[in-house]
Amino acid sequence: MNLSDRIKHQVDANFDELVATRRHLHSHPELSFEEFETTKFIADKLKSLGYDLQQITETGGYIDIRGENPDSKVIALRGDIDALPIHEKTDKEYASKNDGVMHACGHDVHTTCLLGAIQIIDTMKDEFEGTIRCIFQPGEERLPGGASIMIKNGVLKKPQVEKIMGQHVMPLIDVGKVGFRSGLYMASADEIYIKVIGKGGHGAHPHQNIDPVYIAAQIITQLQSVVSRHAKPSIPSVLSIGKVIANGATNIIPKEVSMEGTFRTYDEEWRNKAHKLIIKTCNETAQIHGAKCEVEVRKGYPFLKNDEDLTTQTINWAKEYLGEDNVEELELWPAGEDFAYYSQEIPASFYRLGIRNQNKFDQTMLHTPTFDIDEDALKIGAGLMAYLALRELNQ
């Protein structure tokens, strides 16, 4: 029996356990950097396999699966463990028991698949050379990102990790399939906070006031020129204002308006220039109209770049494991992901796991209160992660 068939056989045998693990995690979600019970659950699972979780943050840690000649090559697999501040609106028996917290981004799946991959790889320690570091990472959903903290605390050191792979669920891909993209894939993600301070008063006498609502509207319009008239057409960029609070009334012009938004792109030099342009545009637009403006651009995750050599290999290995028709090429995805920090340090490959099955249920997108998966994806996620790691060490 070849490696692929052996892994698939083990995945099938472990499937009920994978489902139970995922459902437990889904029922007990915890917010970023508060994943204490989640980490305890993971540690207990690993303990049953003979591994002690090496914690390097309050809720994050790793184990090393050491094969023959363990220092010859070290690679890493990553799973994130945190949930989102969303009230779940499904009627599933495994729906969240923690009100206002939900695994709406699939991190319960990522954690389950990594645990499943460990269970498989552990049975083959005498068949590969090197070490596989399995990282359980907190805080992907919240700045500064758990990846940045774990890297700072040495998760890629002692011994030095040479390459890393990770996966993320994708509701636009059918279960049984996966997606890859070589090179640039996900955008940097920065948060914009703006406060326009004017002079409030009666809505019937606008000439006596400095209207921050009108000025905020002008700022929103002018900000669009940051991308449309300053970015190189070859650099994808997005600038969106998603929240505006004015708190006036039909006859009240408020004193202040607050706004929040996001800026995303794929080039660090342009990113830094755009931050300055955003601040300048806001301040100058407010000043023209006699108002003041407070602007903060909170720098988020960097762009995620998949190493071309490693990703070419992972694509070929995924085709070996799943069949060529089940491996798709992805488009640029302008969401942010703190796995990008790893990709800035060492060669990385971050791919997408299909979870959609329209014959079973209507799939909703990530970060929605009705998000769910076809649990057959657990077989693909656990098995492929194990296969990629073993192929990388045995090539």
Cα separations in angstroms, 345 against 155, 161, 289, 377: 11, 10, 46, 29
Beta strand pairing status for 304-306 and 183-186? antiparallel
Q: Which member of 30, 82, 256, 375 is catalytic?
A: 82
Give the C-alpha separation, 163 to 160, whole Å: 9
Give the C-alpha separation, 226 to 290, whole Å: 22
The DSSP string of 352-374 is EEEEE-TTTS----TTSTT----
- Contacts of 57 by beta carbon, 8 Å cutoff, 6+ apart: 138, 146, 149, 150, 153
Kindly state the helix (H) or strand (E) to which residue 189 belongs, with its residue range. Answer: strand 188-197
Cα separations in angstroms, 109 against 168, 169, 279, 297, 359: 8, 8, 39, 32, 20
Note if 44 is an active site residue. Answer: no
Note if 307 is an active site residue. Answer: no
**Cis-peptide, bond into residue 254, ω within 30° of zero:** no
Q: Residue 62 forms beta bridges with which residues? A: 54, 135
Q: Which member of 80, 88, 108, 140 is catalytic?
A: 140
DSSP 3-state percent helix, strand, coil across the chain (nearest 5)? 35, 30, 35
Tokens at 131, concatenated = 């070490």
Beta strand pairing status for 131-137 and 74-80? parallel
For residue 264, report the phi and psi dihedrals to the nearest 5 degrees: -135, 140
Catalytic residue list: 82, 140
